[in-house]
Chains A and B, each alone.
Chain A
C-alpha cells in the first residue's frame, strides 16, 4: 500500500508542475527539438537554428532539445510530450523523429519543421496539408563528383555507408546512375557496425582511387579511422560534410550544417510570424561551400584553391 501511495505521489507531482510557466508565454514561443542521435553535424544544425532565433528581436524563443537515441518508440514518446506541452513548433532533426512526428502533425496536433532529412519522401511522399515542412540536407551529387574529377581524375570511387541508414542508401542509389554517366566505377561497401570500418576501409582503399563519404552517420563517426587508413594507402577521402575536412579529408563541396540550421530557423520564424505552414515548401540547402585540406595526399591547383571558402 505504501508503495502505491508513493508512486501516486510521484506521478501527482509531475501533473501539477504544468501551470507554472504559462503566464508569461504571450510573447514567448516554445520551440521543441528532437534530434535522432548525438552527432557533431546534427549539433551544428541545432546550434545554427538556436543562434539565429535567439538573435531575432521581438519575439522570444524558448528552445529545448531532446535526443531520441535512434529509438522509434522513444521518439514517439518525446513528440507526445512536446505536443502536450503545447509546443508552438516541433523541430525534428533526422529521419526517425521526423517520421514519428508526422503522425501527430497530420492529426493537426502540432506543427513540425524537419531538418537534416536527406530524402523527405521517407516521411511521406505527399507532405501537402500535413502541417509538416522543413529543410532537407540533400545536395546535388553531380557537382561534387565533377569537382573531385577536377582535383584528381579517377576511375574507381569507393563509398562506405551503413546499409541500415535510409539516407545513405538513397545517396548510393543516386550515385550509381551519376557515376555510370561519368564513366566512374562505383565500389560500394556497406557496413552494419562501426567495428567493421577498419577492415572495410583497408580493403576499399587498396582498390579505389578515392573514397567518398556522404552524410552517413556511422561512417562519419569513424572519420579519423577512414582518413588514417586512406593516407596510408595514399588516396584522398572526399566528404559531403564540410565540418569533416578539418579531420584530414581532402575536400568537401557541401552545405554548411550551421547554415542548414539557420535555414531551418528561418522557417520556424515564418511560422512564428503567423504564416501557414502548409504554404511553406520543403527547402534544400541554398549554397554549397568548398573546403580544402592541403595536408591530404592530393595537390590542389590555384583555380580550385581560389574557389575554396576555407583551406586548412
Chain B
C-alpha cells in the first residue's frame, strides 16, 4: 500500500539524511577513518539549532551554529586520536558518549524541545524543494572541495598515508580537518531534520552511524561503470567521478528510506513493525548482492 505521498516523504527524509551519509562518506571512505562521533554530533547540531531558533534567531543561523558545533565535536575526536594517541574507534565512541551529557546541557531543562510554533527553514515554502536546494548546495561545495588540490590531499591520506606524507601532505592536520568537516555536515543534518520534524529529542541520534553507513554502501552499489567517460578530459573526468560518488550517497540514503517505507507497508504479508529491522536488512542484503552478479 505504498502511496506517492509516502514516497515523497521517504524522499524528503532521504534527502536530509543524505547529508549525514555524505558526512559518513568523508570519514569512512575519503580519509578512511572509522568515526563513530556522528551519533552524538547529530544531536548536538539538532540541539544547538533548536536553542538558537527558540531564542528567536534566523533558522539559517541555527544551521550555521549546528555546523560549528558538529565541527567542534569532530575536531575533538581528531585531537583525541592524533594528539593523545587514542585509537580511532575509541576516540569517536568516547566523544559521542560525552556528547550525550553535553547535548542534555544544551537543551537545558527539557530533553525534548518543540519547535512547532517557531520559524524554521521549512516555515515558508515547499519542504521537498527546500531539502533539494540545501542538498544541491552542499553537494556542490563538497564536490569542488574534494576536486581542489586541498581535496586531493584529503583523498590521498585515505588511500595511502605514507605516500601522502612523502608528498608533503600534513596527514595529521588533514585527518583532523576531515573529521571536523564530516561532523559539521552530520550536525547540520541533525539541525535540518529537527527543523523538518518540528521537535528535537535527545535520543534522536541513536543509530545514525548505521543509517549513514548503509546509505553510503547502497549508494556505492548504484554507481554506473565509469568506462563511458574514457574520452572525457582527465580534469573533467576526475570531477565527474567524485561527483558521482557523493551524489550516490544521497541516492543511497533515499533508497534506504524507501526500503523502510516498503517495510512499514509489509503488513499485508502479516509482518509487524517489530520486524522492520529484519525486513530492511534483507532488502539491503538483496540490493547489495544483486550488483555483484551483474
> Which A residues lie at the B interface, using CB under 8 A?
2-3, 6, 10-11, 14-15, 17-18, 38, 64, 66-74, 76-78, 80-81, 83-85, 95-96, 99-100, 102-103, 106, 121-126, 163-166, 169-170, 173, 192
Q: Are B197 and A103 in contact (CB under 8 A)?
A: yes
Pick from B28-36, B133-141, B171-179, B258-266 the stretch touching chain A: B258-266
Q: How far is it, in angstroms, between the C-alpha of A74 and the C-alpha of B197 when the chains are bound?
A: 11
Q: Which residues of B lie under 8 Å from residue A106 when comparing CB positions?
A: 116
Question: Would you call A73 and B17 a contact (CB within 8 A)?
Answer: yes
Q: A11-B2, A73-B17, A80-B9 are in contact. Are A164 and B197 (CB under 8 A)?
A: no
Q: Does B117 lie within 8 Å of A126, measured CB to CB?
A: yes
Please list 14 pairs of residues, one from A and one from B, whose beta carbons are closer than 8 Å in the complex, sorted by A's number: A18-B3, A67-B272, A69-B273, A70-B206, A71-B206, A72-B193, A72-B201, A74-B276, A77-B10, A81-B261, A84-B1, A102-B116, A163-B104, A166-B111
In whole Å, how far is B41's beta carbon from the nearest beta carbon of chain A? Answer: 17
Measured CA separation A169–B260 after assembly (Å): 32
Q: A84-B6, A169-B110 are in contact. List 5 more A-B contacts (CB 8 A).
A: A73-B13, A85-B3, A99-B114, A125-B114, A192-B100
Whole-angstrom CA separation of A78 from B2 in the bound complex = 11
Q: Mark B3-46, 1 if CB is under 8 A from A, else 0.
A: 10110011001000100000000000000000000000000000
Q: Using Cβ atoms and an 8 Å threshold, which residues of chain A touch B294?
A: 2-3
Q: How far is the CA of A76 from the CA of B198 in the complex (A)?
A: 11
Closest to A100 in B: B197
Q: How large is the interface on B (under 10, 10 to 19, 20 to 34, 35 or more residues)?
A: 35 or more
Complex: A95 Cα to B200 Cα, angstroms: 12
* A residues less than 8 Å from B100 (CB atoms): 164, 192
Q: Which residues from chain B contact A166 at a C-beta distance below 8 Å? A: 110-112, 201
- Using Cβ atoms and an 8 Å threshold, which residues of chain B touch A66? 264, 272-273
Q: Which residue of B lies closest to A190 (CB)?
A: B104
* Inter-chain residue pair count (beta carbon < 8 A): 126
Tell me the smallest distance from the CB of B131 to a CB of chain A, in Å.
13
Instruction: List, in ascending order, chain A residues with CB within 8 A of B261's CB.
Output: 77, 81
In the complex, per-residue mask of B233-262: 1 if CB is within 8 Å of any chain A CB, else 0: 000000000000000000000000100111
Closest approach, in angstroms, between the C-beta of B277 and any C-beta of chain A? 8
CB of B5 within 8 A of CB of A164, answer: no
Would B274 and A77 count as touching, CB distance under 8 A?
Answer: no
In the complex, residue of chain B having the shortest beta-carbon distance to the beta carbon of A70 = B203
**Bound CA span A273–B267, Å:** 28
Q: Is the interface of A mostly helix, strand, loop or mixed?
A: helix
Are A81 and B104 in touch, CB under 8 angstroms? no
B5: chain A residues at CB < 8 Å are 80, 83-84
Is the pair A38, B116 in contact by a Cβ cutoff of 8 Å? no
Contact with A along B90-116 (1 / 0, CB 8 A): 000000000011001000011110101
Is the beta-carbon distance between A17 and B201 smaller than 8 angstroms?
Answer: no
The reply to whether A76 and B9 form a contact with Cβ atoms under 8 Å apart is yes
CB of B146 to closest CB in A, whole Å: 28
A14 and B1 in contact, given A71-B207, A77-B10 (Cβ under 8 angstroms)? yes
Please judge, given known A-B contacts A3-B290, A84-B6, A99-B114, whether A78 and B273 are in contact too, CB under 8 Å: yes
In the complex, the answer to whether B10 meets A124 with C-beta atoms within 8 Å is no
- The answer to whether A123 and B201 touch across the interface, beta carbons within 8 angstroms, is no
A72 vs B201: C-alpha distance when bound (angstroms): 8
Tell yes or no: B119 within 8 A of A by CB. Answer: no
Min C-beta distance of A175 to chain B, whole Å? 14
Chain B residue at smallest Cβ distance from A35: B273
CA distance A291 to B180 in the complex (A): 54
**Nearest CB in chain A to that of B255: its residue:** A7
CB B107 to nearest CB in A, in angstroms, measures 9
Complex Cα distance, B264 from A85, in Å, reads: 12
Residues of A within 8 A of B290 (CB): 3, 6
Is B84's CB within 8 Å of the partner chain A? no
Contact of B276 among A15, A69, A95 (CB under 8 A): A69
Query: In whole angstroms, how far apart are the Cα atoms of A169 and B105 in the complex?
Result: 13
**B101 to A, closest residue via Cβ:** A192
